A and B are shown apart, each in its own frame.
Chain A
Amino acid sequence: MPSTVALTVARYRPEQESEPTVQTYEVPFRKDWVVLDALNHVKDNLDGSLAFRWSCRMGVCGSCGMKVNGTPKLTCATFLSDYLPGPIRVEPLDYFPVIRDLVVDLTDFVRKLKQVRPWIIRKEEKPPAEGEYLQTPDQLDTYKQFSMCINCMLCYSACPIYGLEPGFIGPAAIALAQRYNMDSRDQGAAERLKILSEHDGLWQCTFVGECTKVCPKHVDPAGAIQQYKLTAATHWVKSLLLPWGTR
């Protein structure tokens, strides 16, 4: 086991450069350290100007997404020991504008997420006196996997279509739309379908499948999107055959 490992980190300081550069730091190697620990060591001891996001350091907040050796990863869940002998390349997530160093701007995702209305939509709310909405474990099972999303954006960074199509709503947002569509308490499927079935929303997906590969919570957004394509297509056929009403 070596005592140190090299970390090659992408830097971008807009006040002094117009293109990203690279800086290498020698950090201590510990077999229980993750990349986030190494980055924090850099910031605490070697170079306080390094900018990056992190929070829970245990894989539930989705803040620390970055590219490690070219693959989108949560840096709090990526062990240094898996990348020996190094050097380990750390770069910001792809397809988002880089604000500084490893920090990217996520406004586009937030905007698209809001577009799919990721909340329970009801035509009429039940008054509290009538009690709770009941749901069986089987009904929960239909959408539970898609509810595990922590909005870490690794899937967006892995999706080439998101990089190529500005209008593509993207894996996590569509998976979350599907999470609500499949929820037995929700009545907003038609509303979401209208938004997503617009040409750029859903149909740009060509099932590359990278999003599912990189998802740290096993949400399987690619599966959610293909299921949604089938739902949208079935709905289209129904609306063609029964134009007077499909609800």
Chain B
Amino acid sequence: MSTEPHYTLYHPRWYRRRVSVWWWLQNRSYTGFVLRELTSVFVAFFAVISLWQLRALAQGPEAYAQFLARLRTPRFLALDTVAFLFVLFHAVTWFNLTPKAMVVRLRGKRVPDWVIVAQNYAAWLVLSGVVAFVLLRGR
């Protein structure tokens, strides 16, 4: 053959199925994936609440008391419960997946995934403890 075979990407009789907008409902893995991605919305939600809290603190004790009162309303309590569950889901999936991105090699052998995962959870416990201590001790 003196010429390269010429492949065309478009062939009129080949069948191309369009990917449906509902592709993510087609199996459990995909739906779980989209739920995991949607945790970012609740992450942003709490970031905004923290920003709001910061602003209330800057404005003085009355504004802060109003902020606290708002958080006690049923609507916010419900939202916060849902947000907490999604943030937990984010944390668990995040810790379980980090060893995939970070391969640590010690003395030539790859550190097994469970070691990295365990370290993540340990760090989580320690940091949560420190934060709780700082926020609960003051009067």
Contacts and interface: CB of A to CB of B under 8 A. Distances in A.
Interface of A: 12, 14-15, 19-20, 70, 94-95, 97-99, 105, 107-108, 136, 138, 141-142, 160, 163-164, 206-210, 213, 220, 222-223, 226-227, 229-230
Interface in B1-30: 7, 9, 11, 13-17, 19, 23-24, 26-27, 29-30
A138 B27 CA distance: 39
B101 A99 contact: no
B15 A97 contact: yes
A141 B105 CA distance: 11
Contacts of A12: 15
B82 to A, nearest CB: 23
Given A97-B11, A141-B109, A227-B100, A70 B27 contact: yes
A163 B23 contact: yes
Nearest to B98: A226
Nearest to B20: A163
Q: State which size class the interface on B falls in.
A: 20 to 34
B33 A208 contact: yes
A97 B10 CA distance: 9
A42 B9 CA distance: 31
A223 B27 contact: no
B102 interface: yes
A226 to B, nearest CB: 4
B103 interface: yes
Given A70-B27, A141-B109, A14 B13 contact: yes
Nearest to A230: B101
Contact of B14 (A15, A70, A99, A223): A99
